[in-house]
Chain A
């Protein structure tokens, strides 16, 4: 079956612009996660969704970052007023539900802020 997909695969934007990153999880997976991978910070957790609600947003680095999930499926990560330090690969993952379930990762969106 289809894995986790993310779009776009690459995004170049100018400093100060808003960007939206999309994640399509595996069908039937109720849990969805966003992570960020950057040279300086490694792999960092951003936010976790269970269904459409986000019980853990503790990893969002600032109020410029927000995310939503609709229909228990697609999720969008929005970064407002992008800064150069936002440049990174944004990874989405999904899992069936329970703690300890394997998280399946998408290929990521490489964001470059110029």
Chain B
């Protein structure tokens, strides 16, 4: 069965600091991996995705993630946090060839001045 673990339900960083949100997955087949962001009282928005090919994936708003098969990880990073990055971030996996998204529990990112 597929599953996603996000380490840290809450992460707090200073404005301008590195953002690192951790995601590990379990999948019996090659996975497709996603990061979604949810701003307060809004729906989910795709930040980036990995399906095949280059393992370093760049997304919107300066975020990127690297697929590491050996570590079964897909951590999300951003070099310099902005106040506007404060939101909840969800890592998700779909088993290859199938569309259902399996989400992690989410990480709430706080950015302080």
Residues of chain A touching chain B, judged by Cβ–Cβ distance below 8 Å, are 4, 31, 33, 35, 42-45, 48, 56, 59, 91, 93, 95, 99-108
Contacts and interface: CB of A to CB of B under 8 A. Distances in A.
Nearest to B32: A100
Contact of A45 (B43, B45, B101): B101
A103 B46 contact: yes
Nearest to A108: B43
Interface of B: 32, 36, 42-46, 49, 51, 90, 92, 94, 96-106
Contacts of A107: 42-43
A33 B100 contact: yes
Chain A contact residues: helix, strand, loop or mixed? strand
A95 B44 CA distance: 14
19 contacts: A33-B99, A33-B101, A42-B105, A43-B101, A45-B102, A48-B100, A56-B100, A59-B100, A91-B44, A93-B44, A93-B101, A95-B99, A101-B99, A102-B49, A103-B46, A103-B99, A105-B43, A106-B43, A107-B43
